[in-house]
Amino acid sequence: MSRKYTKDHEWVSLDGDIATVGITAYAQEQLGDVVFVEVPESGRQVAQGDDAAVVESVKAASEVYAPVSGEVVEGNEALTDNPALVNEAPDSEGWFFRMKLTNSDELDGLMDEAAYADYVKELG
């Protein structure tokens, strides 16, 4: 499945019923240099739109929201030791957490890559 995007600039990629969640390149550019990341604990239940992780940069602190509902199965501990991964590779190694979906229908309400690109252009 291709990636889906939220208006809060998270991306979600599905592998079976496991979703990997990160922030977009646009989001990390807005944040600037990331200096601290707090990822969720395994076993935590999150509903779509819940605060799931925290990212702090030299400019601001921000929440990373759950784009879909489910149970966190893994937080990216590499970000704890190296928060700059979010800036270096937001679309790959800089992911925040993985979760087991509880309602795959929620994916239908998210944007595809083209719609997200248009959305970011509108923010201009």
Domain that residue 82 falls in: 4-123
Q: pLDDT tens across 2-54, in order?
A: 899 999 999 999 999 999 999 999 999 999 999 999 999 999 999 999 999 99
Domain count for the chain: 1
Which CATH number characterizes residue 65's domain?
2.40.50.100
pTM, 2 dp? 0.96
Rounded Cα gap, residues 45 and 61, in angstroms: 23
Q: pLDDT tens across 70-97, in order?
A: 999 999 999 999 999 999 999 999 999 9
Q: pLDDT tens across 18-32, in order?
A: 999 999 999 999 999
Rounded Cα gap, residues 56 and 32, in angstroms: 9
